[in-house]
Amino acid sequence: MPAPAKDTVTLSPAPTAAAADLVDIRTLVPDIAQDIKYAGHDNFVGSPVDGYLAPKCLLKRPVAEALARVEHALRATHQRLKLWDCYRPARAVAHFVRWAHDLSDQHTKAAHYPRLDKSVLLGDYIAPVSGHSRGGTADLTMEQCDDHGSRCKELDMGTPFDFFDVRAHTDAPDVTPAQHANRLRLRAAMKREGFKNYPLEWWHYTWASEPTPHVIYDVPVK
């Protein structure tokens, strides 16, 4: 979970999503697929995360507009995006850090970090300041749909979301050629609208022209 150095960011006093110019992607694409992991129990913490009061994808307005363009372009070939996380409140990141310090809580190890000791997650995989809190980053995958665009299935990317392992690196050598090709298809689709991939997480994309690159927010997702 990449982040800028702590001394390069400031916390916005914005009290609401509207004040932060964060918009719900579904105001632009009402039927975009999403499974907002941190609003429920299916995540590496194993419970709803602080700040997620609703399963919504919020993004800075121009970022949301760029993501909507990616979605509309994909639909021409019966493909779609599926969103797992977008804007992430600063309080959610603090929740992650508290969880990482609790080495007695290992109940998500098999699903999320089977080959790592939990003690190494903080710093290498969980940062105290997240780029998601700027509203310019999304975690997502791609789906292939039938000719009617109604029945869609996630492409096989080789690992699940938030899998803390070298196999989650976008160009990891130990995934199959088909899985790597799917990652490249996603990367190409996102790149066309100015999104850059974080090489250690195939699902992580940041808009290169994000509006507030040195400001993080803590308004709840609701």
Q: pTM (2 decimals)?
A: 0.95
Whether the predicted pLDDT of 189 surpasses 50: yes
Q: Identity (one letter) of the amino acid at 204?
A: H
- Residue 1: the pLDDT is 53
Residue 111's contacts (CB-CB under 8 Å, 6 or more residues apart) are: 44, 160
- Residue 107: the pLDDT is 97
Whether the predicted pLDDT of 7 surpasses 60: no
CB atoms within 10 A of CB 72: 13
Q: Is residue 1 part of a domain?
A: no
**The residue to which tokens 């507009």 are assigned:** 65
Q: What is the CATH number of the domain that holds 79?
A: 3.30.1380.10
Q: Is residue 222 part of a domain?
A: no
Q: Is residue 221 part of a domain?
A: no
Residue 71 appears among annotated catalytic residues: no
40 is written with which tokens?
């429920």
Whether the predicted pLDDT of 2 surpasses 60: no
Per residue in 11-27, pLDDT tens?
999 999 999 999 999 99
For residues 168 and 10, give the distance between their C-alpha atoms in angstroms, rounded to a whole number. Answer: 30
Q: Which whole number is the average pLDDT over 120-142?
A: 94
Selecting among 65, 71, 154, 201, the annotated active-site residue is 201
Q: How many domains in the chain?
A: 1
Domain hosting 42: range is 6-216
Whether the predicted pLDDT of 149 surpasses 90: no
